[in-house]
Amino acid sequence: MRYPTKISEFAPWLLARAGAWKLAPASVGLSAAQANSVDLAAKLLDSEYANALKQRQISKNATDSQNEALRAALFQLQLDLRIIDAFATASANPAAVYTAAQIDPPAVPTPVAPPGAVTDITVGINIITGATILKWKGNNPGGSTNVAYIVRRKLASATDFTFIGTAGNSGPEARTFVDSTLPQGVDSVTYLITATRGSQAGPSVQVQVRFGTIGSAGQIGVTSVKLAA
């Protein structure tokens, strides 16, 4: 590369060389007029670049001052809005208070919908412990927090589902449940997974799992997973 391409490097680079060429133009094959022209161009660029840097700093300082003023204004506004809201609540005519204040009343909070049904359920077996591992995806509305999943189980010989534990909605083990209490020798089991948040519950989803021999080694594994009605 014959010369820098960044202006922060190019401006001082050219200024130094143009000054040297102006002192001895004949040594580099330039006329005095040619050397003087590039020297003037280099000096103008250096001046304008320095001015641009100065203006950028001025603009940054102005933006910082603006943002600080905005934070202070918002803080004071929030304080005053609390006072106005309290005054309107205690007033016989709250609408008149907000009309006088030229602001809208506080929006009525919209309740967050219940959690949705779980989807994309997968089932596997821990080959070391033999525990059954269930994983799924959540389908919860925006604004949902503190969602937990209740897991129930029903063996083929049972008539009712039995609670066996819960799973969280965040962290490395999110939406994962390990069933380490499944009796040995069962060939099928049905799980019921329900997303909950506080007193709200989403639709329960049943999944039937069948076990059997897999491969020539005779290893026990999951042979089918299907949603149950």
Token digits for 102?
């030229």
In this prediction the pTM is 0.54
Residues 158-183, mean pLDDT to the nearest whole number: 91
Confidence class for position 156, pLDDT limits 50, 70, 90: confident
Q: What percent of the chain has pLDDT over 70?
A: 93
User: 3-state SS of the chain: helix, strand, coil percent to 5?
Assistant: 40, 30, 35
- Mean pLDDT (the chain) is 90
Second CATH level (architecture) for the domain 119-228: Sandwich (2.60)
pLDDT score recorded for residue 113: 87
Q: How far apart are CA 155 and CA 4, in angstroms?
A: 75
**What single string gives the DSSP state of each residue in 141-160?**
-TT--S-EEEEEEEETT-SS
Task: Say if CB 97 and CB 91 are below 8 A apart.
Answer: yes
Q: How far apart are CA 158 and CA 48, in angstroms?
A: 85
Dihedral sign, CA of 25, 26, 29, 33?
positive
| Domain locations along the chain | 7-86, 119-228
| pLDDT tens figures, 191-206 | 999 999 888 999 999 9
Q: How far apart are CA 118 and CA 121, in angstroms?
A: 7
Residues 178-201, mean pLDDT to the nearest whole number: 90
Check whether 105 has a pLDDT greater than 70: yes
Burial of 191: CB neighbours in 10 Å, binned 0-12, 13-18, 19+:
buried
Task: Say if CB 38 and CB 7 are below 8 A apart.
Answer: no
Q: How far apart are CA 201 and CA 144, in angstroms?
A: 12
Q: What percent of the chain has pLDDT over 90?
A: 66
Stronger pLDDT, 88 or 145, i.e. the higher one: 88
Radius of gyration over alpha carbons of the chain, in Å? 36
Dihedral sign, CA of 197, 198, 202, 205?
positive
Confidence class for position 178, pLDDT limits 50, 70, 90: very high
pLDDT score recorded for residue 129: 87
